[in-house]
Structure 1
């Protein structure tokens, strides 16, 4: 069972239904109409293509409700293919099955529903005319009104989904139509949801906001930038949004770790190749260079509505390898970019900017508790030190997860106390390494040195005060601070003072500490104790040197 926030119980059902799938396809149909003809041929073709397909072979009437095995099959299928025939709506079991399929789709956005209109038209379902009107006239006499209303709404809803109509495709030839259905199912099954953490405290409201933006029905080509410091959850949010929406687009691609991949030999071409494979349904293309790849991408994205996510972008050339202008995309396409660089794109190019915030204290304690205790609150006796560790994390999900997972329930309170004291003196190495990516990505030594100066000496100081001092030391402080802000390394508060997240601060000072075990050999000294020891040591050395010189002079005389 997935661990989820008690405040968001729906997540449990979504994750459990979407992560375990016994069948590729659940095949729904009216048995008397097509069981031994069209549906049988379609079932055979799906199985032959390698899809685990469920169909109900029971010819006997089902009784008053859907059998439990049918409910489980719907729940544990990745897709549902519904064959609508003239008499489909005459069966109350088929209608109940339809309601359950649509409920499965609502609970799990990655569940694909493909309506197949065999000898009816989508408008027949939408308006419920012809044979459907006759069926509902009979249902109205024998079934509760609320049940009939539910069936009508389900038919209207499924009629608006993208489906396949026999009369409109393959010139009405059933064999060609079946082959086309199998091909479409192959494309849909190849596009699978991405893995996301089971525990996503504090992210659901942000995900819902971005889903609304993606689902506004606009034909505009939109660019969304999700930015924030390392470890704050940008990629997790982007993956969740992608999982909820990729089925709405004709093509989709999630390009993960763009920065890391681009630094590999021929990395930009690798990115282009992956993108083309994704949106061309697995077709491999050989690309010789970035320019050739860009031409192929522009041709592909101009012909279909796509959802494109570029994760962890830190330089403009990584974007330029994928697209030059958003106007080249097919209407309604959407691009999502996650980055630590707030001004990666010019303002006029971006449709929406979403800054990911740190968690509040309640959310932080809940996330830490799931990782440390397997529940949404600390065990009795561990509350005080849990709260102190959470306070040390400053609402950063990465830190809460790493430190929560590193604590052990079997350890005594003294061990927890010692662990906290160690953290305050020596930052966790795993967290430092992940946060350091932002520092290493700064454009030059000027900005890196400026960052270290601020981390060691100027936190909480007035911005003008810092500028006056560091400009006198040959720094270009104003533009340097802006670069640090753009990289989510520092912030300016409402009092115009320079601030830094505690974990970023610890990372900066740890970089300096790693220069040498001996404080006097480091580039910066900020702790009073170290400064006093260095000055004392220097004073002793000076006295020794002075004494040596005096003795030498006396010897000469």
Structure 2
């Protein structure tokens, strides 16, 4: 977990606060020499002076007071948790390995246990990044092939399209590539289009792209004027822009009209179900995301249903049946697996019967069965609100708009069941 100072410390602060820009707090030798080391090196390479916590704090010792203060937002600090091969819901709810560690750890007093529980609950509710093995299943080869296209860099400005059917993993692949190459860009923006975007609403996306890049608010009210501003302000800048779920030519024309809108070295990533749309916009390369083969599909399903790479012995045949119904689509595999996690075998059989009755139906019909089964009225309403109004919006901003005390609890339920994703704090 990294905490960054949002303002310069006063002269009364300690030497360490004056000296370091970022504190990295982590646990586990496997992360020290792998993920944490890469993060530390990348921060230094970007000119950010980072301090690695965990060097002196051994397992079972009292929580670092600096980390506790950072979690509480002490003196303007921002905390950015990275859940590396850890489920945030386990952190929040003290389940899985966290329940075992607390229940069977060293003998400690109740007050100390409560401090750990409170700290875990705080961290588990913070917006951050969830990196898990299941996120990469089936994406290894796609990611490598996409990076090969990016690295060709035959032109000064690269437009690259990601095409495939709905639910196949286009957004996930775009996010992976965006994260891989984003460290080479100071100016960047990731935009998620809603399915019902109207022409009049495109100015809000123009404003959002410019806000991401220039770190200030814009007040564009006319699409044509917005095009002029984007071209004028970005034509000399090396930018990374990702546009997800593009369905209309007007969306591209409004934000990434042509190659000459951007500076040398810029990369524009576009995901769409419409290949002709990408061809018409003169993208340089189009990468097709194909459904997972049976082996990878079973592995992805298993990570969601069993939190491991393969099914439990009593569930092998049933797992293969669900994989067949998912048709290789990542979204369906994640939804099926998440719904069935920790369910009794009778529930599996009952749900499979429902799917068999709809065996000729579209995959969306099958996913609707999950939607009806697992969501209560309040969660359903939140799910629909996100789908129609809040997709791509910061989750904290949505909290302020809804002003609903049950928002966080309901929101936590949706990604845990693979019904939505939260990427860099955005829904």
TM-score higher than 0.5 here?
A: yes
Answer yes or no: is the 8 Å Cα contact 1:302–1:329 preserved in 2.
Answer: yes
Distance 1:349 1:227 in 2: 14
Distance apart, 1:382 and its partner CA: 1.1
Residue of structure 2 equivalent to 1:46: 8
Residue of structure 1 equivalent to 2:357: 425
Residue of structure 2 equivalent to 1:405: 338
Kindly indicate whether residue 240 of structure 2 is the aligned counterpart of residue 270 of structure 1.
no
1:87-106 CA distances to partner (integer Å, 9 max, x unpaired)? xxxxxxxxxxxxx9998563
Distance 1:47 1:101 in 2: 30
**Paired residue for 1:244, among 166, 180, 186?**
180
Distance apart, 1:257 and its partner CA: 2.2
Residue of structure 2 equivalent to 1:293: 226
**Paired residue for 2:254, among 299, 313, 321?**
321
* 243 and 428 in structure 1: CA distance in 2 versus 1, 3 angstrom threshold: farther
Residue of structure 2 equivalent to 1:106: 38
How much is the aligned-residue C-alpha RMSD, in angstroms?
4.0
Answer yes or no: is the 8 Å Cα contact 2:161–2:270 preserved in 1.
Answer: yes
Distance 1:435 1:53 in 2: 55
Answer yes or no: is the 8 Å Cα contact 2:161–2:285 preserved in 1.
Answer: yes
1:321-342 CA distances to partner (integer Å, 9 max, x unpaired)? 1133212211111111000001
Distance 2:221 2:212 in 1: 18
Poorly superposed stretches of 4+, deviation over 6 Å: 100-103, 427-430, 433-436
**Paired residue for 1:253, among 189, 202, 207?**
189
Distance apart, 1:56 and its partner CA: 9.8
* Structure 1 unaligned regions, length at least 5: 1-19, 26-43, 58-69, 77-99, 118-185, 437-557
Answer yes or no: is the 8 Å Cα contact 1:104–1:111 preserved in 2.
Answer: no
Distance 2:14 2:176 in 1: 26
Taking structure 1 as the reference length, the TM-score comes to 0.45
**Paired residue for 2:296, among 358, 363, 369?**
363
Taking structure 2 as the reference length, the TM-score comes to 0.57
* 233 and 410 in structure 1: CA distance in 2 versus 1, 3 angstrom threshold: closer
Residue of structure 1 equivalent to 2:4: 24
Higher RCO (CA 8 Å, separation ≥ 6 residues): 2
* Structure 2 unaligned regions, length at least 5: 27-31, 50-76, 81-126, 369-427
1:493-523 CA distances to partner (integer Å, 9 max, x unpaired)? xxxxxxxxxxxxxxxxxxxxxxxxxxxxxxx
1:394-413 CA distances to partner (integer Å, 9 max, x unpaired)? 2111111111122254523x
Equivalences for 1:170-249 in 2 at 5 Å?
Answer: 195=129, 198=132, 199-200=134-135, 201-216=137-152, 220-249=156-185
SS of the counterpart of 2:46?
A: strand
* 426 and 266 in structure 1: CA distance in 2 versus 1, 3 angstrom threshold: same
Distance apart, 1:215 and its partner CA: 4.1
Residue of structure 1 equivalent to 2:329: 396
Q: Which has the higher Rg, Structure 1 or Structure 2?
A: 1
Residue of structure 1 equivalent to 2:216: 283
